[in-house]
Structure 1
Amino acid sequence: MSQLTVKVVNKVLEAVDIVSLELASVDGKQLPPFSAGAHIDIHLPGGIVRQYSLLNDSAEQHRYIVGVLKDPESRGGSVAVHDKVNVGDILEISAPKNHFELVHAKRTLLFAGGIGVTPILCMARRLSQTNADFEMHYCTRSPDRTAFEKDIKASTFADRVHFHYDSGDEAQKLNLKSLVAGPQDGTHLYVCGPTGFIDYVVNTAKEAGWAAGNVHLEYFGAAEVDTSGDTSFEVKIASTGKSFTVPADKSITQVLDENGVFVPVSCEEGVCGTCLVRVLEGEPEHRDLYLTDAEHAANDQMTPCCSRSKSPVLVLDI
């Protein structure tokens, strides 16, 4: 997919450790359209590529806006956005992609945890424009860490948004069990945020009897994985028949890259799906957050940036 060249036309400190970037085409032309829940790949200084959800009105084509949290455990992406990207800079980005699309529903529940508000806010804007029945719950540590709060409170859907702060009193904290009690077939739930927050919402909904198809989620980062038991295995490339050993301390994509076999990678955490490949033989050990449980069970595709192998040999369709 061809890249787009954009200019950073605005950079705003939206909350503690959160900035927004407003991006516009360098030639003044319209940008490709996008739908609520979409994200773009941004090529950052230092050769880093990261995915950020679009938070502005999905009807807009003159700009894209993303929000980025400065992560103290950053692998370089968020630090680059905060410390190295400035107004006037020219960046390369991908066209919008969407793995977190809204579906038509009688009613929609939106849950945002921290910086997970970005795709959720875009969804709220879209649902408001279509006069849909929805409500949004936005959970943060404290008001000073609540990005876009002023924008939300000034919006036409402000009365449908509920703010919940960890630092607040018990009355305003999220009462998730009551919100997801008595699930209806026509109601869909969307959640985005830290892994622990997503798991809490998804598991609570599951316990309440929600159908898996009515619960939609998007992770922003991979969960920690215990790698102490990792061992080596062989990866065979179907197109050439060549085999390579993947040691315990390296990923499949690292080994392939060292041997001149190109596999596109981006997040390197199994979140974005950029590196997805077909598995022709062998059994993957899935460690991604991109594929569904059913897709994991099928074992016919995998994310080689983070996943490994349960079998001695994996044959990949490369």
Structure 2
Amino acid sequence: MKDSASNELSFRTVVVTKKDQVAEGVFRFELRDEAARALPAFTAGAHLTVRVPSGANRNYSLCNDPAETDRYVIAVKRDAAGRGGSVSMADEVAEGDRIDVSEPHNEFGLSERARSFVFVAGGIGITPILSMMRHLKATSGPRFKLYYVSRSPQTTAFLDELSSAEWKPHVVIHHDHGELANAFDFWPVFEKPGSGAHIYCCGPRALMDSVRDMTGHWPTGTVHFESFGVDQSRAAENTPFNIRLERTGRSFQIPKDRSILEILRDNGIRAPSSCESGTCGSCRTTLCAGEADHRDMVLGDDEKRDHIMICVSRAKSQELVLDL
């Protein structure tokens, strides 16, 4: 399958110089230039688009210090329930292999106006935030605090490092063991917005939704969420539109601030989904009629007439008819 991202991104070949396991099911990859040249610079919070051995493109956040120009470091969680990108990376990529990566891109950069930072990470969402923390510490930047939630110590990436004396004053780690009753209470953290403070959150959708719900009273522009490379600037172009389900005839209006997937879910209609950022392809749906406004990084040009990723894409026509 041809990825639409390949029409917009330029790729370079790098060598996997190190691969190790940093938690249960989480693998760290060190990538270097084949000729030991400096790599294109990146800023804290940036990601790479990686062409995995299966041929798909996947976005992975850089987790090393941006001052390091000789290597890129990413961490990948093996998700057996996904569409195979992370499984392909975890199972098929070994030290010494060559893989293609894009230049770094950043839709999650640190605000230069912030006087302090509150970081919230869930699971593998620690990766871009770890890069931010390394950068702030190395440059004596504004103060910061990390709240890192995960299911258990075994599934917590970089646990040994983040538990060390170096990071202890800056880090709170919480394990909920998969039980709602053990969920971390973020309200004391967000109840009173700090002067000049900015929040950066990366993790599962449920965590990001919870943080969004609790920070509605924070000043506009001070709460940031990782979108894994999907350009959020186009949200300003959003307009409402209708969808009709071909199999049942049911119709719904999609507001400008909600996705097709969210509206279907609200109405008890189940649809496959995973990343909810237009990068994994899980929510691919057949488009029966109407013109889509494609915003994913999965569909090739020859697939866009008949398919849509319902987690991020919208409509150019007044109505879309979906094979649901």
TM-score between the two structures when normalised by the length of structure 1: 0.72
Provide the residue aligned with 1:240 in structure 2.
Answer: none
Distance verdict in 2 for CA 1:252–1:11, change over 3 Å: closer
Asked if 1 retains the 8 angstrom alpha-carbon contact of 2:54 and 2:85, the reply is no
8 Å CA contact 2:292–2:314 kept in 1: the answer is no
Question: Within 2, Cα distance between the matches of 1:236 and 1:143?
Answer: 43
Deviation at 1:168, TM superposition (A): 9.8
- Bigger RCO of structures 1 and 2 (CA < 8 A, at least 6 apart): 2
Aligned to 2:130: 121
Q: Which of 158, 163, 166 lines up with 1:153 in the alignment?
A: 163
- Aligned mates of 2:291, 2:317 — CA distance in 1: 12
**C-alpha spacing 1:186/1:42, structure 2 compared with 1 (3 Å):** same
Task: Map residues 28-107 of structure 1 onto 2, 5 A cutoff.
Answer: 28-104=36-112, 105-107=114-116
Q: CA deviation at 1:181?
A: 1.4
1:240-259 alignment runs, 5 A limit = 256-258=301-303
Structure 2-normalised TM-score? Answer: 0.71
Residue 203 (structure 1) aligned to one of 213, 237, 254: 213
Structure 2 unaligned regions, length at least 5:
1-8, 231-258, 272-285
Tell me, in whole angstroms, the C-alpha distance in 1 between the residues paired with 2:297 and 2:28: 34
Q: 1:179 aligns with which of 183, 189, 207?
A: 189
Q: Which amino acid aligns with 1:50?
A: R
1:137-186 deviations in Å (ceiling 9; x for gaps): 11000000111111223363332111010039999963200011111340
- The answer to whether 1:26 aligns with 2:71 is no
What is the identity percentage for the equivalent residue pairs of Structure 1 and Structure 2? 34
**8 A contact 1:41–1:94 mirrored in 2:** yes
Amino acid at match of 1:307: R
8 A Cα contact 1:100 1:218, kept in partner:
yes
- Do 1:25 and 1:31's aligned partners in 2 also have CA atoms closer than 8 Å? yes
Which is worse superposed, 182-191 or 52-61? Answer: 182-191
Aligned counterpart in structure 2 of residue 135 of structure 1, from 130, 133, 145: 145
CA distance in structure 2 between the partners assigned to 1:66 and 1:140 by the alignment: 19
Shift in Å, 1:100: 0.2
Distance 1:15 1:38 in 2: 22
Is the Cα–Cα contact under 8 Å of residues 30 and 61 in structure 1 kept in the other structure? yes
Q: Is the 8 A contact 2:62 2:128 kept in 1?
A: yes
| SS of the residue 1:213 aligns to | coil
1:158–1:89 CA distance, 2 compared to 1 (3 A): same
CA contact (8 A) 1:138 1:163 kept: yes
Q: CA deviation at 1:287?
A: 3.9
